[in-house]
Structure 1
């Protein structure tokens, strides 16, 4: 192990003799700090579950104002102290805390610009740490928490705005979730494409209002009650999603729920152009509106309510457009339409 950048570049770090202890690899550490870039300079940095202290010492090397190392194992902090001395960073502003990581987060009154979380992989300590960090607002508004794991990076507690993979290791970069947004449409019916956009919104927002819009000038395939039933079935047990209906303007509903964020899904350049033109009209009515465009996954580019209807009426495989949770309800609704 060695320092890969900054004033202590190429200085060697001592490692544990125990192979069960897994420090962050040099390549992963280098990528982490390349992503954070010059923002580390002058930042307050927390190395949680510090281990060898390699990440925190890298932060010192790259100009961090202060680094706090936290570990529940005294032998780890002893090694951190040795590594700080080995690279010649004794004069840097740093602090060593012998503490359980979650306990430290629960009790500290200090706020950090960046928090690096690297617990043992086969635990849920990382997600628990994210929960405490963002509930207690321990990260500055312009900062981030970074979580290293080999498992799923999505978190209900924070907005995962970037992720990278280096072999087994995955790095997730998190900031605060926004309070709420509205995703409106006819949902005639709701498809895998809609679900994809809603899941993307859930990553960024604590609450997603899925608004079924009632347009008196249109005759949908499914009645309003059915469309609401399909959505409620799909999101049963999901506290982040609230299904509603509205017969007014979208901007009026945004005001009603107290948010400026309006979510739209786009499948291609034509979709984006169309949505931006509509966004200009909405902004003329409601200047505070903030429209967020989520790009559909490549596998769902051709997935839409229109595609479902085309397949159904032509005798094709319409079920492939539907989330599996709503296929039984949709089948029942289709039988009702035949009567």
Structure 2
């Protein structure tokens, strides 16, 4: 079985994240959307709320499992039997950053491969950081965040 982990903070989960998962579904038998827990970070949404929002978004998709984790992504991959890490690339800066992480992950766990998907045109400008900034300044994010997730944002 081909199992992938899509790790991230997903604070909040955006249309760009959704597009990446949706495009990866035909490639894998199971995709874990793995919300990395960093208790020292204060986010927009708490971890359980993020998990509930993404679960609602994928409630009709049996191939998607939403979970939280702490520690190294490669260790989480080993725990769930994943041989692939799924990551999105919006631009060259993302490529440089993600490549360094992927190379180090290969040293830590050579049996786990990272797959990169390029952001689709029209979605590369979306990031959770930008969504949080817009919300903090009273703007609307309905074109950036799925309605299922938007319902969890206060």
Does TM, normalized by the shorter one, top 0.5?
yes
CA contact (8 A) 1:309 1:318 kept: no
Q: Does the aligned pair in 1 maintain the 2:77–2:83 contact within 8 Å?
A: yes
Larger Rg: 1
Q: Which has the higher contact order (CA 8 A, sep 6+)?
A: 2
Please, which of 325, 331, 335 is the counterpart of residue 148 of structure 2?
325
Matches within 5 A, 1:50-65: none
Higher strand share: 1
Q: Report SS of the residue matched to 2:110.
A: coil
Deviations 1:267-315 (CA, angstroms, capped at 9, x unpaired) = 0111111100111121121122200000111110111111111111112
CA–CA distance in 1 between the matches of 2:76 and 2:129? 25
Secondary structure (helix, strand or coil) at the match of 1:321 reads: coil
RMSD: 1.3
* TM-score, scaled relative to structure 2: 0.94
Contact 2:12 2:149 in 1 (8 A): no
| Count of equivalent residues | 154
1:62 corresponding residue in structure 2: none
Cα deviation, 1:221-251, whole Å, max 9, x if unaligned, reads: 2111111111111111210100111112111
List gaps (5 residues or longer) in structure 1: 1-177, 335-339
Shift of 1:219: 2.0
1:198 aligns with 2:21: yes
Aligned pairs (5 A) from 1:1-339: 179-330=2-153, 334=154
Runs of 5+ unmatched residues, structure 2: none
1:117-156 Cα deviation digits (max 9, x unpaired): xxxxxxxxxxxxxxxxxxxxxxxxxxxxxxxxxxxxxxxx
- Give distance in 2, aligned partners of 1:181 and 1:211: 10
Q: Cα distance, 1:216 vs. partner?
A: 3.0
Query: Following the alignment from structure 2 to structure 1, what is the Cα–Cα distance between the partners of residues 128 and 17?
Result: 9
After superposing on structure 2, the runs of 4+ consecutive aligned residues of structure 1 that deviate more than 3 Å are none
SS in 2 for 1:319: coil
